A and B are shown apart, each in its own frame.
Chain A
Amino acid sequence: MTAPAGTDFSRGARGHLISYAKRALSAGVLLPLLATAIIAAPVVSTLWIGLIEGGGATWTHITQTFLFRYVIDTMIVLSTVTVLSLSLAVPAAWLVTQYEFPGRSVFGWCLILPLAAPGYVLAFSYADLLGVSGPIQAFIRDMTGLSARDYWFPNIYSRIGCGFVLAASLYPYVFLTARAAFATQSSGLLNAARCLGASPTGCFWRVALPSARPAILAGLSLALMESAADFGAADFLGVQTLTVGVFRAWSSFADPAAGARLSILLVFVTGWLLWAERHLRRRQGFASRDGGFATSTRTVLPPTQSALASLFCLALFSIGFAIPVAHLVHLAIDARSSAPPILDLVRNTFLLAAVGTVAALAICLPIALAAHRSRPLAQWMRLIASSGYAIPGAVLALGGMYALSNLPISFSGSLALAILVLIYVSRFSAAGISPVEAALGRVPPSVSLAARSLGAGPFRRLYAVELPVITPGLAVAALILFVEILKELPATLMLRPFNWDTLAVKAYAYASDERLEAAALPSLMITLCGLLPVLLLSWRLSHSGNPRTTN
């Protein structure tokens, strides 16, 4: 390839430039860039529309009438979630890691199960359970002979009620991070505290809790981010959070641009929470190097305390999972003769989730690989991908709605579905990237270099080395993505074509029409699917010793 004698300088320089451009724009850089752009598109377009077009009459109306209410409701819901999830999940995590009591190992995994049911499913169940005509109030009236007006009963259709429902479904985030932090705290630390005269309670308050604080707050940030992004539970319970406001701007005012402007505020909140979570987790990074749950020895509690510990964990599990799910089962069985057909819903849901999963995986893969091969910009691509995760589905859907409503042609259903898939990709790709990256992380970069030195080009490296190595990670990613998409409500509700309902959409529609018995079956099916990744997660955590460690 040496240049023949007499080649002029400019040609050499041009060749240089071309070879530089070729390297800079090689598939290894271009594909992940394209993937990142696809993820960022709905985010950017919504925010852009909000900034440029969102300032019309509707916006003025919203700021003058509703905005204060949206902010206050959001704050009250988030505060309730904070207080409840901290006061329930942290003690449970401490009990499970430090003490031995009946059912401890079972609680270790079943306290995570509430993650399986989306907040709106719990809201449907609790609304029926605790409502005026629900079994509990009916029982009180039967016992006391009072009428509904004569006694006070907590109202689930309230901001605190919404916070309670969201805390019941999201406390496992705090439980998981707190448990991991407590379990990996060196027992030497606690022993040292004991030797210095601290009581077990003192150990908890003075040593264990402060050193686990970053992890606990990281879990809390995640729970709060999901709470702020929740649409189904808040809307159903009549709470006007910012997310509900964003949805209303579209559904009531038919002004997606105003909604988009409102969502800038919401994105500021969720984005800050996601940043806080990442930041806290990084600080935690060094403290818990060994991972795993091989805690030294657990203290065996005396009978009374042991019973209290079991009871506490049982209560937590019942509130988050057992009671609402059992009630839904009860409702579904009661309504089995009059239940509307569900087969179409299942088909639509699975089809949409499958297409969304494949699309999201195709987007995740180049970004995870680019990060693994430490390509330039890979860190930025990951950051952008995770920004999609911080943005509520309702917000992302607004960009899609706006695009559709401004198209000169009247859009067909399949175009709306394609945009919906794009929104899923944007929202959930981050959830798929991490398992793929984790799988890639098991292979040091030198493995890829070894393949190169043995003559393997980029394509062969991908199919002969990297893909086989990440297959388990891809499977996990696919499962997580599938279930996240299946549970997604607001974006699907806004963008699905007419008469193209999914389980989540129909459950929400039945519940909004106060046909909770009809909502029970689709809600249960969503929860059942949601159990799969949660059980997998819990299995992986309890078997966290990596079987393929060297030496």
Chain B
Amino acid sequence: MTKHPLTLSGLVRTYGGTDVVSDVSLVLAPGEVTALLGPSGAGKSTLLRLLAGLERPDAGTLRSGDTILSSSDTMVPAEKRRIGLIFQDFALFPHLTALENVKFGLTNRRSNEASQTASDWLDRVGLSKRAHAYPHELSGGEQQRVAIARALAPDPVAILMDEPFSGLDPALRDDVRGLALRQIRETNIPALLVTHDADEAMLFADQIAVMRAGKIRQTGAPDEVYRRPNDAETAAALGAFNLIRGQVDASGHVSTPFGEITPHQPVIGPSVLLGVRPEGIQLSTASSVKATIKSVRRQGPLWRLIIASGGVEATMVLSTQTGVTIGDTVGVALDPDHTFVLPPAADIS
């Protein structure tokens, strides 16, 4: 059966005069995971409720393939949409066993067939042994796996996940997350993962939509959004970066205290603000641009250095600390792949 994309065009949701969701357009492709990334209060959960049919948009259209799910004159109720939901608090029915929970959505099949499908799904999430346990008897990770099976078992047209892994402890999270996303990809339906964890979004999503103050600020593949953010806030949402001012010469080169680059996009004006990811500053013995090392600290698998040049400080990362000592002067260069031009508005920061 062919799976359809979920298409959002111009969705608006207003509470008391303010747009909580403001003109959101997005295409969720089948078989792909789209991460909706943003801080709390950005409107992520409201957007998810609009898609699920738990709230009615004030304007805009939502389609699954060619079927209109909501528009100005149509509102398919949540229970008719066949859109699966996975919640942060799992939301398992406390009075039903794991198997009965998974079976709950399988109403259009004969009972024994439904039981078979439900137990197949429990098997797929590795819980066939816990089929007859009640939610309160299951661990957090097991509960979430039941919730995943329950959402996927009725063969939904799309799946929405509202911070589904943040309730799990970190050791468990990777397992459950990997399992969930594998199952979702296999079903080949569009999936939306609401999260405020940039690492999670980049690691698991095919597409990232950055949301802030009700608007989608940027949409793209994780690498693209990470390396080519539209503005400083989007850049910060994906990870740390250095804000460095550079001087533009006649040929479009930009020179900064940490090296010269030709940006990936043409720049104008006497000066420009650059965003440089920590890995965008590299040690270079050949470089004539020198910086002084101020601090060297381990940060997980990498070493994090603070360097100074021309009265400006910047952060960079290295995989080894060999040959790096505080107080040394080293040659540095910028990597254009990890450097981006910021719009003038970022001047205020």
Interface residues of chain A, those whose CB is within 8 Å of chain B, are 1-3, 12, 15-16, 19, 442-444, 446-447, 449-457, 464-465, 468-469, 547-551
Question: A454 touches which one: B54, B71, B77, B104 (CB < 8 A)?
Answer: B104
The CA of A548 and the CA of B154, in the complex, are separated in Å by 27
Measured CB to CB, the closest approach of chain B to A447, in angstroms, equals 5
Inter-chain contacts of B81 with A (CB < 8 A): 453
Contact of B151 with A453 in the complex, beta carbons under 8 Å: yes
From residue A275, how far is it (CB to closest CB) to chain B in Å? 28
Is A548 in contact with B94, judged by CB distance below 8 angstroms?
Answer: yes
Cβ-defined contact, B107 with A455, below 8 A: yes
B216 within 8 Å of A by Cβ? Answer: no
- B13 at the A interface (CB under 8 A): no
**Cα–Cα, bound, A124→B331 (Å):** 100
**A444, B91: Cβ atoms under 8 Å?**
yes
Are B78 and A453 neighbours in the complex by a CB distance under 8 Å? yes
Rank and list the top 5 A-B pairs by shortest CB-CB distance, nearest first.
Answer: A454-B105, A446-B91, A453-B85, A452-B78, A450-B91
Question: Which of B313-340 touch A at CB < 8 Å?
Answer: none
Report the bound CA distance from A335 to B107 in whole Å: 64
- CA A521 to CA B81, docked complex, whole Å: 62
Residues on B with beta carbons closer than 8 Å to the beta carbon of A444 = 89, 91
**Complex interface: stretch among B23-31, B135-143, B185-193:** B135-143
**Bound state CA distance, A444 and B139, in angstroms?**
18
> Do residues B91 and A2 form an inter-chain contact, with CB atoms below 8 A?
no
Q: Which of A1, A2, A449, A454 contacts B150 (CB 8 A)?
A: A454
Q: Which residues of the other chain, A, contact B78 by a CB distance below 8 angstroms?
A: 449, 452-453
Q: Among B74, B78, B140, B150, which residue has the most Cβ atoms of chain A within 10 A?
A: B78
Q: By the criterion CB–CB under 8 Å, are B94 and A452 in contact?
A: no
Q: Looking at the complex, which one of B87, B95, B150 makes contact with A469 (CB distance below 8 Å)?
A: B95
B residues 86-110 with Cβ under 8 Å of A?
87, 89-95, 104-105, 107
What's the least CB distance linking A530 to chain B, in Å?
Answer: 31
> Are the CB atoms of A447 and B93 closer together than 8 Å?
yes
B52 on the A face (CB < 8 A): yes
User: Which residues of the other chain, B, contact A443 by a CB distance below 8 angstroms?
Assistant: 93-94
B83 close to chain A: CB less than 8 A? yes
When distances are taken between beta carbons in the complex, the residues of chain A under 8 Å from B90 are: 550
Q: Given A454-B150, A455-B105, are A1 and B73 neighbors across the interface (CB < 8 Å)?
A: yes
Q: In the complex, which residues of chain B have a beta carbon less than 8 angstroms from the beta carbon of A551?
A: 139-140
Q: Could you say which of A19, A465, A549, A550 contacts B93, with CB atoms under 8 Å apart? A: A465
Cβ A446 vs Cβ B87 within 8 A? yes
Q: Which residues of chain A have C-beta atoms less than 8 A from B135's C-beta?
A: 548, 550
Jot down 23 A-B pairs with beta carbons below 8 A, ordered by A: A1-B68, A1-B74, A2-B73, A447-B94, A449-B78, A449-B87, A450-B92, A450-B147, A451-B93, A452-B53, A453-B52, A453-B83, A453-B151, A454-B79, A454-B151, A455-B79, A456-B79, A457-B79, A469-B95, A548-B94, A550-B89, A550-B90, A551-B140
Asked whether, in the complex, the Cβ of A452 is within 8 Å of the Cβ of B87, the reply is no
A12 touches B107 (CB 8 A): no
Query: Which listed residue (B73, B87, B104) contacts A456, Cβ 8 A?
Result: B104
16 more contacts with CB within 8 A, not counting A1-B74, A456-B104, A469-B93, are: A1-B68, A2-B73, A3-B73, A443-B93, A443-B94, A449-B78, A450-B85, A450-B93, A451-B93, A452-B78, A453-B79, A455-B82, A455-B105, A455-B154, A548-B135, A550-B143
The answer on a CB contact under 8 Å between B79 and A452 is: yes
* Cα(A442)–Cα(B140), bound, Å: 17
Q: Are A454 and B154 in contact (CB under 8 A)?
A: yes
CB distance from A315 to the nearest CB of B (A): 43
A residues in contact with B75, CB < 8 Å? 19
CB distance from A49 to the nearest CB of B (A): 40
Residues on A with C-beta less than 8 A from B68 are: 1-2
Is B80 interfacial (CB-CB < 8 Å)? yes
Q: How far is the CB of A7 from chain B (nearest CB, A)?
A: 9
Q: How far is the CA of A406 from the CA of B323 in the complex (A)?
A: 103
Q: Which residues of B contact A (CB under 8 A)?
A: 52-54, 68, 71, 73-75, 77-85, 87, 89-95, 104-105, 107, 135-136, 139-140, 143, 147, 150-151, 154
| Contact partners of B140 in chain A: CB under 8 A | 550-551
Cβ distance A547 to chain B, nearest Cβ, rounded Å: 7
- Quote the shortest CB–CB distance from B19 to chain A (angstroms): 21
Cα distance A457–B76 when bound, in Å?
Answer: 12
Bound-complex Cα distance A455 to B77 (A): 9
Q: How far is the CA of A465 from the CA of B83 in the complex (A)?
A: 19
Measured CB to CB, the closest approach of chain B to A475, in angstroms, equals: 14
Expressed in whole angstroms, the minimum distance between the Cβ of B190 and any Cβ of chain A is: 15
Residues of A within 8 A of B136 (CB): 547-550
Q: Which of B54, B71, B94, B104 lies in contact with A449, CB distance below 8 A?
A: B54
**Is A449's CB under 8 angstroms from B52's CB?**
yes
Judge whether A450 and B73 touch: CB under 8 Å: no
Q: B73 to A447, Cβ gap below 8 A?
A: no
Bound complex: CA A452 to CA B135 (Å)? 19
Please give me the residue from chain A that is nearest to B85 by CB atom: A453
Instruction: Report A469 CB to chain B, min CB distance, Å.
Output: 5
Which A residue sits closest to B162, measured CB to CB? A446
Nearest B residue (CB) for A470: B95
Q: Is the CB of B104 within 8 A of A451?
A: yes
Residues of B within 8 A of A469 (CB): 93-95
Known contacts being A465-B93, A547-B136, A548-B136, is A455 close to B80, with CB within 8 Å?
A: yes
Residues of A within 8 A of B53 (CB): 452
Once the chains are docked, how many angstroms separate the CA of A453 from the CA of B92? 13
Contact of A452 among B54, B74, B89, B150 (CB under 8 A): B54
Q: Once bound together, how far apart are the Cα atoms of A280 and B71, in whole Å?
A: 47
C-alpha gap A550/B75 in the complex (Å): 35
Q: In the complex, what's the smallest C-beta–C-beta distance from B145 to chain A, in angstroms?
A: 14
Which residue of chain A has the shortest Cβ distance to B74 in the bound complex? A1
Residues on B with beta carbons closer than 8 Å to the beta carbon of A455 = 79-80, 82, 105, 107, 154
Q: Which residue among A16, A450, A453 has the maximum number of chain B CB atoms within 10 Å of its CB?
A: A453
Q: Which of A12, A446, A468, A548 contacts B73 (CB 8 A)?
A: A12
Please, which residues of chain B bring their CB within 8 A of the CB of A547?
A: 136
Least CB distance from B9 to A in Å reads: 15
A259 vs B60: C-alpha distance when bound (angstroms): 59
Q: How far is the CB of A194 from chain B (nearest CB, A)?
A: 37
Q: With A455-B80, A455-B154 in contact, is A447–B54 under 8 Å at CB?
A: no
Rounded to whole angstroms, the CA-CA distance of A549 and B107 in the bound complex is: 29
